Structure 1
C-alpha cells in the first residue's frame, strides 16, 4: 500500500538531452503526476525540455536554490548516472538527504568530472582516499607524482561511497547492485526493475520488412543489431571476430551498430576493416527514438554484451526483450539475473569467443530457436517490468523518507565543525572542579566540535568524561551514548555516529591495534569526527614498539585522516622533581573511508601486525 505523497522534487535530466536516464524518467513522469505534484530540477544550461506535460513544474538549479527553504521539507529523488548530465545535482544530493536512484553502480567517471577532468588533482586524490582509504591515497600520489592512471581504474574503482553514504534511501534496478551497496553498510536499499517503455507498444514486430525498407536494410538476409553507444566494453571486437568466422563459412548477414561512436575511446571502423566486414556492417550514429525502435524491430536478434560491467541495467535490453527479441548477453552482474530461458547468456571465460561464434551461427540459422527465447523474454518483461508498478514502487520508497530540513550530517565533506572559543575553555577551567587524576588533555586542546546529534563516549573514567561533555561542551545526557571500551563495535544501535570521544590505555589496543581501530571505523559515519586519547605507560611503550608516528599510520590504514596530534604528560607536579613516567597521546581525526588496510607495516621496527605477533610468540617460546 502506497503512502501518498502530496509533492516530490526530482533531480534528473529531461529530453532532448541525449541521455537514457532522461528518456527513462520522461516515460515515468505521466504516472508520477497522476498521484502527486512533481517538480523537476534540471541544470542551468539544460536545453528547453520537450514533450513534458504542462502540469510538471520544471526549475533550473539556480531557481531551485532561490527557493530551497520551501522545498527543503519535500521528499527529494535524485537520478544518478555515470555521465556529465547528472553532475549538476551532486552538491544538493550530498547536503539534502533523499532517495537516490543509482542507475550505474560504477560512478568513477562522474566523480572524475568534479575534479580531475577540470584539473583538480588534489580533489581526485581526496576522492580516491575517501573511497579506498590508504590504498586510494597511494594511487592518488602515483597520479600526482608520475601521472600514472591505470586503465583498470575507471572499471575497477567504482568511486560511489560518498554518494551512497549521503543517501537516506537507495533504489537500484538489480539484486547485484543492491548486494554491492548493502556490503558498504547501507541498509535502506530497494530493488525496482527497469520498466518497459510504453512507447515501444506503438511499433509492431509484424512490420519488420516495412521498417527494413524505411531504413535501407536488406530484406533477404539476417539482420543482427547492437544498440546504444559503441563502446569498448560492449565487446564489439569479439562480435566482429565471430561474424568474420561465420562469413568465411559462406553465411551472409548484416550487422547494425545502432548508436553513437566514441572515437576517443574505441576506433570501431578499424576493427570493422580488419575483420573484413566493411560490406556487412552498418554504423548508424545517434538515433532518435523513432529510428531506435524501428532498427530494433527490423532485427532478427540483438547482441547486448557488456564486460566489464559497471553494475548498470540496460534499458535497451529491457526494451528489446519486451518486444519479443532474443538477446545475447554476458552472464555477469545484472545481466546474470535474466532467467536462463529468456536470453542467450554467455560465460566470460577462456571459451567466450568460441561460444559466442557458435551461438551467433545457431541464432542466424535457427529461427525457431531465437523466436522461442524472444517470446519467453517478452512474457517475463510483461510480468515483472510494468511501468505503473515500478512508478508506484518509486513513490512508496519516497514516502518513507524522513522529513529533514537541515543538511545531512552523514554526507562526506559537508560537515563544518564549530568549536568553543579558547577563552571559554580557559574561563571554565578556572571556575570548575577539574580533576587532575583523570585525562584532561583532549578538552584543554579544544578538539571537541559542538552541536552533533549524538556523542559516542568511551572511557575508563566515563563519569568524568561525560561530565566534561555535558558541562563544558553542552551535550545533553540523552545525546551521550556511553559504551564500555570492549563493546565499541556493538555501539551503533541502528545508526552510525558522527562524533566519538574515546579515552583508552595503550594496553587496550597494543596486542591487535588494527583490529581495534576497525571496530571504531565500523561505528563512525563517513566524515565523522574521532577524538582518540591513549594513556601511554613508559614500560608498555617499550614492550610494544609503538610510537605516535606508528599510531598515526595505523589510523590512516584504518580509514582516518589525522588533522591534529597532541602529546603531554599524564600529570605534572610543582612540588617534586620526579618526572612523570606516563604520558597522553591525543589524535584528532576524520573518517574518510570504509576501506581498511588490515595489516600495514606500521610498527617502529617496520613489521606488520601479524609479523609483530609472530615475532613476539617466537621470542616467548625461545625464552
Structure 2
C-alpha cells in the first residue's frame, strides 16, 4: 500500500514534526511512504535517507496524487506549519490526524491574522451556524466574548472533518467531538506515543542534573513553546508565594517564550530573578535532557484546544510527577498518574500543590512510579504504530474504539478497578 504522508518536517520547530519523525521509520515496515512537506531537505538524517520528500505543491498534480492509495494529513494549530496542509486536506480526501481538536488558532492565522474577516465569518457559519456568525460579528464590535475564548465550544473543525475520508484523534474528548460533528465518519482513537520510557528514571535524573550543571535544589520546569495557555504568568505568581514560604527551588522554562508574555518584567515583578532559567528554543534531544533532570513538571493548559501533548507523554514515561490543569483532554488521565489543578483559585492551587510536594504531603515517588507504568501501558510506540497500520489499511471499518474502553477507562480513573480486569472480559 502506497501512502502520501503530509506533514511538517525538521528543521521546522514543531512537536508534530518530532512526532512524525519518530513513527515514520516504524511505519515504513508496513507501507511504501512518500513525504510531502514545506521543503524537501529534512535535517533528520533518518528521514532524509529513508524517504522520498516532496514539497506540498506536488500533491496538486493529479498524476502524482493518483499514485497513492491513501493520503494522511497531519493537522495542528500553527498556521505556518499547517496552513497549506489544511488547504490540501479540503481539496483531496484522505485520513486527517487531528493533533488539536479545536483548530481555532489555525483558522485565525489563515483569516483574521490577514484581516480577512469575511473568510473567518464564513467558516464560523459553516461550522457552527448563523447564530455563531452573529456572535463573532458582535465580538468584533466588543459586544460579547469572542469565539476564540471558548475553543472547544467553537472548534471550527467541521469543514475539515466533512472533507475527510476518516479521522485519527488522541483522546476520548476528541473522539466524541468529531463523532458529534459527523456521526457516520470512521474515527480511530490512538494515544499520542512516546518512545522515552525509562525504568531507571531516578538514576537518569542525577546524571542529567550533573550534566546541566544543576545543584541539589528542587527543579521545577515547564516545557515547549511557552504561551499564555501554558499559564506561565500564573505559575510565576504561584512560585513567588512558594518562595515566600522559604522553599528553595529553580524554575526552568525549557523552550521559547511567547513575546506577549513579557516574562522578564514578570520575573522582576515577582522577585524570581535568582530562581529562574529561560533556555530559549531547544532541540528535542536537548529538551529531553531537561525533562530527565526535572523533579516537578508543570504541564498546565487553559483554555484547552483538545490538544494532545507529546511532551506530557514523554515526561510520564520518564517517571515524572506532572502537575496538570483539570480541563479538556487532561481531565482524562487517572488521578493517581498526575496531580490535577482546578482553574478555580488556580494560582493558589499551584502554590499549594508545590508546597505539599516539598513538605511530603504528596507522595512524589508513588506518582513517579504510576506515571511510568501508565506510559508503558498506553503510549508504547510499537503498539501505536500497529494501530495506525490497522486503521490506514481499512479506514472504513473502525475497530480501534471499543465502547467497553470508555467503561474501563472511567472505572480506572476513579480507582475502582484495574483495566486488565475489564479487558479480560472481552471476547
TM-score by length of 2: 0.85
Match of 1:185 in 2: 182
Match of 1:37 in 2: 32
**How much is the aligned-residue C-alpha RMSD, in angstroms?**
2.4
1:261 to 257, 260, 263: 257
Question: In the TM superposition, what is the alpha-carbon distance from 1:215 to its structure 2 partner?
Answer: 2.2
Match of 2:317 in 1: 322
Instruction: Work out the CA distance in 1 between the residues paired with 2:145 and 2:350.
Output: 29
1:134 to 130, 134, 137: 130
Match of 1:26 in 2: 21
1:353 to 343, 347, 351: 347
Match of 1:548 in 2: none
Instruction: Work out the CA distance in 2 between the residues paired with 1:205 and 1:67.
Output: 54
Q: How does 1:268-279 map to 2 (within 5 A)?
A: 268-279=263-274
Cα-to-partner distance string for 1:169-205 (whole Å, 9 max, x where unaligned): 111110011111112133412110110135x669964
| Bigger proportion of residues as helix | 2
Which consecutive residues of structure 2, in runs of 5 or more, have no partner in the other structure? Answer: 397-427
Match of 1:88 in 2: 84
Greater RCO (CA < 8 Å, at least 6 residues apart): 2
* Residue-pair matches, total: 391
Question: Residues 401 and 182 (structure 1 numbering): CA distance in 2 closer, same or farther, change over 3 Å?
Answer: closer
Q: How does 1:173-572 map to 2 (within 5 A)?
A: 173-186=170-183, 187-198=185-196, 205-217=202-214, 219-264=215-260, 266-349=261-344, 351-366=345-360, 369-401=363-395
Question: In the TM superposition, what is the alpha-carbon distance from 1:388 to its structure 2 partner?
Answer: 1.0
Cα-to-partner distance string for 1:521-548 (whole Å, 9 max, x where unaligned): xxxxxxxxxxxxxxxxxxxxxxxxxxxx
- Contact preservation (8 Å) 2:198, 2:319: no
Match of 2:97 in 1: 101
Question: In the TM superposition, what is the alpha-carbon distance from 1:137 to its structure 2 partner?
Answer: 2.7
Question: In the TM superposition, what is the alpha-carbon distance from 1:367 to its structure 2 partner?
Answer: 9.5
Instruction: Work out the CA distance in 1 between the residues paired with 2:118 and 2:362.
Output: 58
- Contact preservation (8 Å) 1:178, 1:191: yes
- Contact preservation (8 Å) 2:254, 2:281: yes
Cα-to-partner distance string for 1:393-431 (whole Å, 9 max, x where unaligned): 1121111246xxxxxxxxxxxxxxxxxxxxxxxxxxxxx
Question: Residues 122 and 37 (structure 1 numbering): CA distance in 2 closer, same or farther, change over 3 Å?
Answer: same
- Contact preservation (8 Å) 1:109, 1:154: no
Question: Secondary structure of 2:77's match?
Answer: coil
Question: Secondary structure of 1:287's match?
Answer: coil
Which consecutive residues of structure 1, in runs of 5 or more, have no partner in the other structure? Answer: 1-5, 403-623
Bigger CA radius of gyration: 1
Match of 1:575 in 2: none
Question: In the TM superposition, what is the alpha-carbon distance from 1:386 to its structure 2 partner?
Answer: 0.9
Question: In the TM superposition, what is the alpha-carbon distance from 1:274 to its structure 2 partner?
Answer: 1.4
- Contact preservation (8 Å) 1:342, 1:376: yes
Question: Residues 25 and 123 (structure 1 numbering): CA distance in 2 closer, same or farther, change over 3 Å?
Answer: same
Question: In the TM superposition, what is the alpha-carbon distance from 1:212 to its structure 2 partner?
Answer: 2.4
- Contact preservation (8 Å) 1:11, 1:79: yes
- Contact preservation (8 Å) 2:253, 2:278: yes
Question: In the TM superposition, what is the alpha-carbon distance from 1:49 to its structure 2 partner?
Answer: 4.2
Instruction: Work out the CA distance in 1 between the residues paired with 2:361 and 2:48.
Output: 42
Instruction: Work out the CA distance in 2 between the residues paired with 1:334 and 1:10.
Output: 26
Question: Residues 377 and 143 (structure 1 numbering): CA distance in 2 closer, same or farther, change over 3 Å?
Answer: closer
- Contact preservation (8 Å) 1:205, 1:323: no
Q: How does 1:584-595 map to 2 (within 5 A)?
A: none
